[in-house]
Amino acid sequence: MSAAPPEVELTIDGVVVRAPAGSTIWEAARAAGIEIPVLCHDPRYRPVGVCRMCVVDVGGRVLAASCVRPCEPGMKVTASGPEIEAHRKLLTALLLADQPQAPSQQRPEGSDLVALGRRYGLVGEGASGDLLGLPRGTGRPQDPSSPVIGVDHQACILCDRCVRACDELQSNEVITRSGKGYKAKIAFDLDLPMGSSSCVSCGECMDACPTDALVNKPLAPRRRRPLPLAPAPEPKPAPPQPAALTPVPTLCPYCGVGCSVTAHVDEANNKVAWIDGRDSRVSDRRLCVKGRYGFDYATHPQRLTQPLIRREDSYPKGALSSALRVKEGKRPGGLVDYAEVMPHFREASWDEALGLVARRLLEIRERHGSSALAGFGSAKGSNEEAYLFQSWSASASAPTTSTTARACATRRRWRR
Ligand code: SF4
Ligand code: SF4
Ligand code: FES
């Protein structure tokens, strides 16, 4: 039996707390239900202690950053009180004074920094808006080059959460720092525009950012490139962001990893406004570019929502699009024309479509034996669907069953 890890005993705001040796004061306080506000810290990343929002009094010469300060036996910590709150309020005002006058707001309720501003009466109802008379900062640029993430350097407080999210959670190592003094800023690769850098658009930095310096761009018309299967629908302007969205817990439908997500649904426009990663043991709030930004298919005009059956007069099978028909030994290539292909199909009910598939499979088995059948499942299916599929495959005596989840789930495991 392994021995229990050694503990230290300390007092936080008069409460006796025991914490595993090596814990920080912030961790010990959190485990004891004592809230200490943070900005640069997130328990998923290595603590760096750069913003000093979490300061506490440990009886030293200066206040200590509780997110990096380890607990010591017998320590007496004051985590709240007029002096500490005044410090946090001044720090919040200083950070807010550098924020853009018209921020790109990600969420209706505002960022973590805005929430702190509200807590200290600096923004929101009843706030004078003068931020303790501090001069306002201006002049830092924006970077609109990424197709999915907007960057506003004026809103950046250099907390490095995005840097650590990119390095430690996603192992992409794209974001760093450049410049000195007031010119210090986050940088992508060797200070390239984000859209030209090696960023893979996973959005983890945007999720980490406590100030809306990194925000999701709305799925603007220019992202709605035509799919190769159809004429481009007329782009519509993105609807205005509604005051409230309905959070719907669900799963990413793209691959067998099955990351947990929250879809923020604009019910009035029947659309997903954006997707967040959700806490779960599978994905720990992380997402890839498909899970975070690939959701506009749900309301795409070309999406098939009903089964289609090939019309009898469209047999024998062959290329339906002139782009794929072989002419003089060559395929002309180009885009498959939706309007040319669709007339060869008719809509059907699920019962009719499934009945037809079952009948055809039985015909193949009767004519050629079960070795003529093989099952290939999709990584887009859930574990339960994969289980049902292999049960079906076994009942049909198909000798081979596989799924594309083998490829993408394996890759994801390697990256951890
Ligand atoms: S962009 Fe956001 S997360 Fe990154 S350093 Fe700036 S404030 Fe922090
Ligand atoms: S790895 Fe990407 S595509 Fe697969 S479930 Fe997670 S977010 Fe979706
Ligand atoms: S939250 Fe501790 S220093 Fe930033």
pLDDT, tens digit (0-9, with 9 covering 90-100), for 15-68: 999 999 999 999 999 999 999 999 999 999 999 999 999 999 999 999 999 999
pLDDT at 408 (0 to 100)? 60
Q: Walk me through the domains of the chain, giving residue ranges and CATH numbers.
A: 7-80 (3.10.20.740), 89-216 (3.30.70.20), 221-235+244-299 (2.20.25.90)
For residues 268 and 381, the model is more confident at: 268
The residue whose CA has the least distance to atom 7 of ligand 1 is 156
Q: Which atom of ligand 3 is nearest to the CA of 66?
A: 2
Q: Is the pLDDT of residue 107 over 70?
A: yes
Q: How far apart are CA 225 and CA 65, in angstroms?
A: 48
Asked if pLDDT for residue 372 goes beyond 50, the answer is: yes
Atom number, ligand 1, closest to the C-alpha of residue 211? 7
Helix (H) or strand (E) holding 95: helix 82-97
The answer to whether residue 217 scores a pLDDT higher than 90 is no
User: pLDDT value at position 134?
Assistant: 86
Query: Residue 166 CA: which ligand is closest?
Result: 1
State percent of the chain over pLDDT 90: 59
Residue of 132, 39, 37, 407 whose CA lies nearest to 257: 407
Region at 205 (left for phi over 0; alpha for psi -120 to 50; beta for the rest):
alpha
Strands 374-377 and 400-403: parallel
Q: Which residues line ligand 3 (CB under 6 A)?
A: 38-41, 49-54, 65, 67
Q: How far is the CA of 188 from the centre of ligand 1 (A)?
A: 12
pLDDT surpassing 50 at residue 348: yes
Question: What integer pLDDT is reported at residue 39 of this predicted model?
Answer: 97
Q: Which residue has the higher pLDDT, 388 or 106?
A: 388
Task: Report the pLDDT averaged over residues 333-340.
Answer: 81
Of residues 193 and 282, more confidently modeled: 193
Confidence of residue 223 (pLDDT cuts 50, 70, 90): very low
Q: Per-residue pLDDT for 198 more than 90?
A: yes
pTM of the model: 0.80
The per-residue pLDDT for range 266-299, each reduced to its tens digit, is: 888 888 988 999 999 888 899 999 999 999 888 8
Of 102-106, 141-145, 205-209, 258-262, least confident by mean pLDDT is: 102-106
Both tokens of residue 344? 């060869």
Backbone angles phi and psi of 401, in degrees to 5: -135, 135
* Ligand 2 pocket, residue 288 CB under 6 Å: yes
Atom of ligand 3 nearest to the CA of 68: 2
pLDDT band at 411 (very low <50, low <70, confident <90, very high): very low
